[in-house]
Amino acid sequence: MSVSKGPLARVERLLDALYSEPSLFASAEEFERANHDDLAQLTLDELDAERILARLRWAALIHHRAEPSLWLSERIARLDQAALRLRPGTRR
């Protein structure tokens, strides 16, 4: 996301506090998250919670006419797939 001034800057700070994109080299955990390798360790409730947070970030970006990152778009798709696999009554 670009550095902005005014209301959009506040939205960007809020989004980063709520659901930041991982820094590839910050830690092993961030590296796993950046590559979506952490999804297998999450419970269904954790996946559902992260799906909501990721979509809030996506919606705020779209609302402010900013382009969601490729990572965020891929993360949402992978979160949906992982949750579907764990949800009772769905085919795997």
Is residue 53 domain-resident?
A: yes
User: What's the pTM value of the predicted model, to 2 decimals?
Assistant: 0.81
Please say if the pLDDT value at position 7 is more than 80.
no
Which spans in the chain are helix H? 7-18, 28-34, 44-63, 70-86
Q: What is the pLDDT of residues 46-85, one digit of tens each?
A: 999 999 999 999 998 888 888 999 999 999 999 999 999 9
pLDDT, the chain, mean: 87
Which tokens is 2 given? 């670009």
Q: Does 91 fall in a domain?
A: no
Q: How far is it between the farthest Cα atoms of the chain? A: 47
As a whole number of angstroms, the distance between CA 45 and CA 32 comes to 19
Cα dihedral sign, 72-76-77-81: positive
- Report which residue type is found at 59: A
Q: How many domains does the chain divide into?
A: 1
**72 is a domain residue:** yes
